[in-house]
Amino acid sequence: MDLETLRGHLLDKPGATEDMPFGPEALVYKAAGKMFALVLWKAEPLAINLKCDPDLAAQLRHAYPAVTAAYHMNKKHWNTVLLDGTVPEEEVRAMIEDSYQLVVKGLKKEDRARLGKGRKRSR
């Protein structure tokens, strides 16, 4: 997955915004002001940090060497995914959806209503 495809997919989420609050090295994606993804867009290979259920995070780390505990983030709840082609694109998209849904689930009711109902993905 290249940067423009990734950005398009992230910004396609209801209410998603892109910002650079940590400097020019990282693109941060938020829903109602809460981060659901951080893209290390200058990294080679491209990398993305995503929120994840702790049990699923451990499963993904075991299944894919390109998925690790996120650097500088809560390692229980965040994974880094190296977009080196070893994780299927459908799986990366599913991880993004899961991250977005976890963040939306934690929002206030009125903020969720403003975003609209997102699709819930089950494993």
> For all residues of the chain together, what is the average pLDDT?
91
Nearest to 107 by CA among 12, 8, 16: 16
Nearest to 10 by CA among 103, 72, 78, 87: 103
pLDDT class of 114 with cuts at 50, 70, 90: confident
pLDDT class of 13 with cuts at 50, 70, 90: very high
pTM surpassing 0.95? no
pLDDT of res. 122: 34
CATH, domain range 3-66+91-108: 3.90.1150.30
Q: Which residue has the higher pLDDT, 72 or 86?
A: 86
**For the chain, which residues make up each domain, given as ranges?**
3-66+91-108
Please compute, for residue 86, the number of CA atoms within 13 A of its CA located in the half-sphere on the CB side: 13
pLDDT of res. 123: 33
Q: How much of the chain, in percent, has pLDDT values that exceed 70?
A: 93
Residue linked to tokens 């993905």: 121
pLDDT of res. 117: 52
pLDDT of res. 27: 97
pLDDT, tens digit (0-9, with 9 covering 90-100), for 25-69: 999 999 999 999 999 999 999 999 999 999 999 999 999 999 999
HEC profile of the chain:
CCHHHHHHHHHCCCCEEEECCCCCCEEEEEECCEEEEEEECCCCCCEEEEECCHHHHHHHHHHCCCEEECCCCCCCCEEEEECCCCCCHHHHHHHHHHHHHHHHHCCCHHHHHHHCCCCCCCC
Nearest to 81 by CA among 114, 40, 115: 40
Q: Which residue has the higher pLDDT, 112 or 53?
A: 53
